[in-house]
Structure 1
Amino acid sequence: MEKTIEKAALLMEALPYIQEFRDEIVVVKFGGSAMEKPEIIEAVLRDVVLMECIGMRPVIVHGGGKAISAKLETMGLEVKRTGGMRHTCEVTIDVVDDVLHNEVNSHLLELLAKHKAKAQRVSGKDILMAEKLFVKDPETGEDVDVGFVGNVSNVDAEYIHEIIEAGVIPVIAPLAKDKKGHVYNINADIAAAKIAESIQARKLVYLSDVPGLLSDPKDESTLIHTIKVHEVEEYIADGTISGGMLPKILSAVEALKVGTKKVHMIDGRMQHSLLLEIFTDSGVGTEILAD
C-alpha cells in the first residue's frame, strides 16, 4: 500500500507541471551515446509519447553522428574533423542523408508507432535553409572549408506547426538546403535550437550522454543545476563550457533570447530523465534560464 501511495504522491507532484505545460511545444534533441542502446531509445520515446498523451506538443530533432561514422568506416572513407566538425564531401553528404533518413529516422518512427503515437518524418531539407559554415582551426585560428556543413538561416515554422496542430509528433533529421539546392549537414544541437526559436517552443531539451553541465567533466557530482545567460561567458572563459558543449550552450542562449523560456540539458541514459526533469520539483540535469 505504501508504494501505491508513493505513486499517487508522484502524480500529484507532477499535476501543476502538467497543467502549466498543456498545449505547450517542447523540442527534444536526442543524440550522442544515448542513441546507441535500444533500451535507452525505447525509454526516451515512451517518455515523449506520455508527454504527448497528457497534452504537451513534443517535437523530436535527432542526431546520428556515430551511425554516420560507422557507415563511413565500413565504406573505407576517412573521417576528418576540424573544430569538432566532420569534413563533408559530396560522397559523405550522400551517406549522411541516407543514414539520417533511412536508418535513424525510420527506426524512431517505427518505435513511436509501436507505442501507438502518430509521428511524421520531417526532412530538414524541406524546412531548413542553410548557409555554408566555415570552421575556425583551433591551432591556426584560420577559417577552414569543411565542405557541405552549414548553419541554419531560416526555418519553415508554419509547416512544423501544421504537423503539430494535426496531433502528430514531427521527427526531424538535421539536414538543410541552400538557395542552389545543395544539401548541408547541420549540427543537431544548432538545428534544434533554431527550430525551437522559430516555432516559439516553451522548452528546449538536450538529451545526451552526460548528466548536464559539470564544473569538473570527470566528476558527475559537480553538476551545475542552474545557469543564467549572463553567466555563460564566464563559464566559457574558465573552460567549464568547452568542446562539444560549446555549440550546445551557445545555441541554447540564442533560443532563450528570442522567447524560449527554458533550456534543459539532461542525461538520456538515465531512465525517465525527460519526465523527471520536466515534471518534478528537483529535476535531474542543468537548466539554462534567460536573465
Structure 2
Amino acid sequence: MNIKSEKINGIIEAIPHINNLIGKIIVIKYGGNALTNENKKNEFIKDIIFLKKLGSHPVLIHGGGPDINNMLKKLNKDSIFLKGNRVTDDETMEVVEMILSGKVNKNLVSLINKYGGNSIGISGKDSNLILAEKKYIIENNEKIDIGNVGEILEINPKILYTLIKENYIPVISSIGIDKDGNTYNINADYAASSIASKLKAHKFVFITNAPGIMMDMDNIDSKIDSLSYNEAKDLIKDKIITDGMIPKVEACLSSLENGAEQVHIIDGNLNHSLLIELFTNLNTGTKILKN
C-alpha cells in the first residue's frame, strides 16, 4: 500500500467517528507536560481547533500547577500540599488566580485565536460558573484549615451554553467563588469532572502524563484499552490504580455517575493523542464506559 492510499484509508476510517461527534460537547481536562511543553501545547491547540471545525463543541478546563510553583518560588514562598490539596493562604490565592486566570488561561486563548479558532477565556467566578464553599481536611478526627481551597457546590452552565451557541471555544480556569464573593482555589480535575457532568458531555477527555490505566505502572504493555465503570472501581479497591492516578480516575467515575457518557484518559506526551483517540480505532489511552 502506498502513502497516498494509507492517507485516504485513514480519512475513511475517521468518517464514522466524525459523524458521531458532530454537534456533541467534548469536555477536555488539559494539564501535565502537554501544557508546559510549548511544542506539544501548539499541536494540542491545533487539535482543539480541528474538533471545532468538524462541528463538535470542545470545552477546555486547564490546570497550571508548575507555573504556580515557579511563581511562588520567585516570591520565596514554599508550595505546601496536604492530602493532594495546595495549602492556599491569601498571598498564595493571589498567585494562583493571577497564574491560572491570567497567564495560563489567556495564553491558551491567544493560541486558539492565533491558529484560526474563536475562543474566550473565563474563570469559575464568571457568571458564578463554579459555586463553591470553603474546604477543610479531616485528619485524626481534627478539622484542618487549608486556606482558600474550595469544594464545588454547584456548576452554573448558562455562560458555557451561551459561548457554545455563539461558536466560541470556552477555556476555563479552576477558580471558584462562594455566595459572599470569596475566591477559592479549586482542584482542576474535579472542576472538569463537575463541568462534564453538568453539560452531560458526550465525551470527557482527561489528558495526563500517563499512557492510561495500566495493570502494572512499570509496564506500558499492560495498558488497559477499555473498561467499565465497575471494573475501574474494582481496580481502585484492589490497589491496581494507585497514587496520583486515584483522584483522576475518581473524577472520571464521578462524571460518568452524573451525566457524562464516556471518559478517555490519554497521554499528553504523544503528539495528536486527542485526535488519534477520537478519530481512529487505535487506543492512545484508556476508555471508561458506564456499563
Give me the TM-score of the superposition, normalised by structure 2.
0.95
Distance 1:76 1:7 in 2: 52
* Structure-1 residue corresponding to 2:236: 236
* Structure-2 residue corresponding to 1:146: 146
Trace 1:147-162 onto structure 2 (pairs within 5 A).
147-162=147-162
SS in structure 2 of the partner of residue 152 of structure 1: strand
Question: How far is 1:210 from its partner?
Answer: 0.9
Question: How far is 1:260 from its partner?
Answer: 1.2
Q: Which amino acid aligns with 1:214?
A: M
* Structure-1 residue corresponding to 2:135: 133
* Structure-1 residue corresponding to 2:71: 71
Trace 1:1-291 onto structure 2 (pairs within 5 A).
2-126=2-126, 127-137=129-139, 140=140, 142-291=142-291
CA contact (8 A) 1:206 1:266 kept: yes
Q: Which amino acid aligns with 1:175?
A: I
Question: How far is 1:262 from its partner?
Answer: 0.4
Distance 1:249 1:129 in 2: 23
Distance 1:135 1:234 in 2: 26
Distance 2:15 2:68 in 1: 40
Question: How far is 1:143 from its partner?
Answer: 4.5
CA contact (8 A) 1:32 1:208 kept: yes
Q: Which amino acid aligns with 1:57?
A: H
Structure 1, residues 28-79: CA drift from partner, whole Å, max 9, x if none?
Answer: 1100222111000011111000000011100000000110011101101111
CA contact (8 A) 2:261 2:290 kept: yes
Question: How far is 1:26 from its partner?
Answer: 0.1
Distance 1:30 1:11 in 2: 26
Q: Which amino acid aligns with 2:250?
A: L
CA separation of 1:69 and 1:33: change in aligned 2, threshold 3 A: same
Structure 1: give runs of 5+ residues left out of the alignment. Answer: none
Give me the TM-score of the superposition, normalised by structure 1.
0.95
Q: Which amino acid aligns with 2:23?
A: D
CA contact (8 A) 2:72 2:92 kept: yes
Q: Which amino acid aligns with 2:4?
A: T
Structure 2: give runs of 5+ residues left out of the alignment. Answer: none
Structure 1, residues 246-275: CA drift from partner, whole Å, max 9, x if none?
Answer: 221112112112221100000111011000
Distance 2:88 2:227 in 1: 34
Structure 1, residues 142-199: CA drift from partner, whole Å, max 9, x if none?
Answer: 5532111112111111110010011100000001001221111111111011001111
Distance 1:142 1:11 in 2: 58
SS in structure 2 of the partner of residue 224 of structure 1: coil
Distance 1:148 1:285 in 2: 34
The alignment of Structure 1 onto Structure 2 pairs a total of residues equal to: 289
Q: Which has the larger displacement, 85-94 or 212-221?
A: 212-221
CA contact (8 A) 2:26 2:58 kept: yes
Q: Which amino acid aligns with 2:243?
A: G
Distance 2:206 2:138 in 1: 25
What's the C-alpha RMSD, in Å, of the aligned pairs? Answer: 1.4
